[in-house]
Amino acid sequence: MTSTSTRPAWGSRFNRFTMRLLKIGIIGLLLLVLAMEMVSHAPERKPPIFSWVAWVEVAVSLFVIFVYFWYQPGRKRWIAAASIASLVATVLDLFYDQGIRGVGTAELLALGLLMLFAVRHWDAPPGRWVAYATGAAAMLIGVARLYGNELQDAAIGGTLLTGMALTTVIGFGSYLRSMDKLRRETQEEVRQAERLELAREMHDFVAHHVTGMVVLAQAAQVTNTDPKQAFADIEEAGLAALTSMRRMVKMLRNDDAGAGTNPLGDLAQIEDLVERFNREGTDTTCFISPELAGSTVAPEIAATAHRIVREALTNVRKHARGATRVRVVVAAASGNGLEVSVRDDGRAARGRLADSGGGLGLLGLGERVEAVGGQLRAQPRPEGGWETAAWLPRAAAEAQPQH
pLDDT for res 358: 47
Q: How many CB atoms lie within 10 A of CB 116?
A: 21
Digit-coded pLDDT (tens) for 321-365: 777 889 999 998 877 889 999 998 887 655 444 444 445 567 667
Please give the model's pTM, rounded to 2 decimal places: 0.49
Digit-coded pLDDT (tens) for 2-42: 333 334 446 567 778 888 899 899 999 999 989 988 887 76
- Residue 305 corresponds to which amino acid? A
The SS3 of residue 321 is: strand
Eight-state DSSP code of residue 357: S
Mean pLDDT to the nearest integer, 165-184: 89
Are the C-beta atoms of residues 321 and 347 closer than 8 Å to each other? yes
Burial label for 61, CB within 10 Å (0-12, 13-18, 19+), is: buried
Digit-coded pLDDT (tens) for 220-259: 777 776 777 777 777 777 776 676 566 556 555 554 444 3
State the distance between the two ends of the chain, measured CA to CA, in whole angstroms.
26
Digit-coded pLDDT (tens) for 60-109: 999 999 999 888 877 889 999 999 999 998 888 877 765 555 678 889 99
- In whole angstroms, what is the distance from residue 104 CA to residue 102 CA? 7
Enumerate the domain spans of the chain: 2-148, 265-403
* CATH code assigned to 265-403: 3.30.565.10
Q: Quick one: pLDDT band at residue 119, thresholds 50, 70, 90?
A: very high
Q: Quick one: pLDDT band at residue 208, thresholds 50, 70, 90?
A: low
Cβ neighbours of residue 324 closer than 8 Å, sequence gap 6 or more: 282, 283, 345, 346
Are the C-beta atoms of residues 85 and 128 closer than 8 Å to each other? no
